A = this chain, B = another copy of it.
Amino acid sequence: MNEFELINRYFRDERPRAGVALGIGDDAAVLALPAASQLVVSVDTLVAGRHFPENAEPAAIAQRALAVSLSDLAAMGADARWFTLSLTLPEADEPWLEQFSAGLKAAAEAYGCALVGGDTTRGALTIGVQVMGCVPHGQAISRCGAKPGDRIFVTGSLGDGAGALKVLAEEHALDTAERDYLRQRYYQPMARLEDGVKLRGVASAAIDISDGLLADLEHICERSSVGARIEVEKLPVSPALRKLASVKQCFQWALAGGDDYQLCFTVPAACIAALEALRADGLKAEPIGEIRADSGIECWLNGEPFVSESTGYQHFD
């Protein structure tokens, strides 16, 4: 099987797709954006043994690869439209490809995001996904807009990614239901695209939590030249995580564990009413602290200073 046969068999999809003038099978894809919109682009590379276990199920790897890339679009308030796939494989393993492409198709379908191109090469298993979406002109949510006094929110439970890694490494015993929940949170994190779209015009800054709440909130603080105070007892923690460890350990994971793919965002006082209306309409968002003028992030647990054991995943350390 050569590269072209591989692409035809596992990745081509001839159905017409919104905005796709020319998809897989030419030198490049040709795409049409909606009027008065801007393009939002992000790329993520997952390396086997580093970003997912070597023996992970191919369908789960595909779903995770797409979700973590789309999570960056969610943090910008963009919708998800198209993606390209760079697949590096040690060999053209047909059962693996069958499952990987089935997982990828299911995830792409769920997100309404069309595969429009890519390439396959031989080498150590590595999955690169570049995602493309759109925002109405000028409405992207950056990391730069947080101001002192803005409230800080997260879209859902934190620490599950770190807990899942313990479960996957079988360091902890858990009932099947909680184990499955945490596995799914790791392999099939949901990119919070709908939440991000709702936050246009409401959030002053946003980021997705991939490296851990403290590390990612620190990016907002740096780019916005502000600091933050976190009320640790307000961090949302799932019931499954609570069964795995003490409440303090859960908070440590919630602060620094990473791999959660919730959104962390800031809301100025003038937009709190709009946010409350969104929450009343079903948006999950929990207040966890406040932006401060002084740099640095302070953590408090029930009025006492709380020290995080780690500040998150550091690439290339």
**Chain B: minimal CB distance from A214 (Å):** 14
Q: Is the CB of B40 within 8 A of A30?
A: yes
Determine the distance from Cα of A292 to Cα of B118 in the docked complex, in whole angstroms: 30
Known A41-B132, A92-B316, A143-B27: A121·B76 in contact at CB below 8 Å: no
**Interface residue? A289 (CB, 8 A):** no
In this complex, the member of A27, A43, A45, A124 whose beta carbon has the largest number of chain B beta carbons within 10 angstroms is A27
Q: Which residues of B contact A51 (CB under 8 A)?
A: 121
**Which of the 9-residue segments A31-39, A171-179, A298-306 touches chain B?**
A31-39
Q: Is the CB of A316 within 8 A of B3?
A: yes
Determine the distance from Cα of A86 to Cα of B126 in the docked complex, in whole angstroms: 11
Binding site for B on A (CB under 8 A): 1-4, 6, 21-22, 25-33, 38-47, 50-51, 72-73, 75-76, 78, 82, 84, 86, 88, 92, 116-124, 126, 128, 130, 132, 135, 137-138, 140, 142-144, 206-208, 223, 314-317
- Known interface pairs A32-B38, A45-B88, A92-B316; 16 further A-B residue pairs with C-beta atoms within 8 A, sorted by A's residue number: A2-B315, A21-B138, A21-B140, A27-B143, A30-B39, A30-B135, A41-B116, A42-B84, A43-B117, A43-B119, A43-B130, A44-B119, A47-B88, A47-B121, A50-B122, A128-B128
